[in-house]
Amino acid sequence: MTMKPPAGSSDAEFAALDAYRDEERTLVVIGRPVPIVKSVLRPPVTWDAVTPGLTFPVLEYVVTPAAVAWYSRTIVSPLIGTPPATSDFVAPLFFADEPMQCIGTLFTRSGRLHANHFVEALAPVPVGATVRSAARVTERYERSNRQYYEVECVISIHDAERDQPAVRVRATLVI
């Protein structure tokens, strides 16, 4: 399956998305080009592996105008019926899948069930900004014979001086 880039963007800007295809599930990773190569050689997530405090490799990328336009056209427009006005800032929900992207650096799957999700905007993210995503397992517990774990991901705007936290995403997953 090959994605078509949004109108006004070059094919090269989205060629990277085809390179990040999830081979096991044969789905294309949506959102933006993330500098990780997915491989089926990674193990699936297990209860023993997701201990609280486990940190995932930091992801760093630039939020391109083409990726924001693609997100608006394919995710936002079908929900509201009309394309949203262009903005100089990225919608916080653009980063909703960031915990799963971070989990994907170590494991082939994030779990069997997505039980809860929380997105908190801390600061506006300008289009074209370099962002860093740092995720860690904050909690794990059992309830009704199911094993849950919670991942917290902080997306920060990165510049030469410092990282400013911009979006916090928490996802609760069932193994």
Q: Averaged over 138-166, what is the pLDDT?
A: 94
Q: In the predicted model, is pLDDT for residue 93 greater than 70?
A: yes
Q: 11-174 in CATH: which number?
A: 3.10.129.10
Residue in the block written with tokens 């740092």? 134
Strand partners, 121: 167
Q: In the predicted model, is pLDDT for residue 121 greater than 60?
A: yes
Q: CA 148, 49, 113, 103 torsion: positive or negative?
A: positive
CA distances to 29, 35, 69, 115 from 53, rounded to whole Å, are: 26, 23, 35, 20
Query: What whole-number distance in Å separates Cα of residue 91 and Cα of residue 75?
Result: 11
Would you list the domain boundaries of the chain?
Answer: 11-174
The whole-model pTM stands at: 0.72
For residue 71, the 8-state DSSP code is: H
Q: Averaged over 45-73, what is the pLDDT?
A: 91
For residue 144, the 8-state DSSP code is: T
Question: Which ranges of the chain would DSSP assign to H, the alpha helix?
Answer: 11-19, 65-71, 77-80, 98-103
How high does pLDDT run on average in the chain? 80
Query: What whole-number distance in Å separates Cα of residue 50 and Cα of residue 15?
Result: 33
Burial 39-72 (b: 16+ CB within 10 A, else e): eeeeeebeeeebeeebebeebebebbbbbbbbbb
In whole angstroms, what separates CA 50 from the centre of its chain?
18
pLDDT digits (tens, 9 = 90+) for 2-43: 445 555 555 554 554 444 444 434 444 445 555 555 445 788
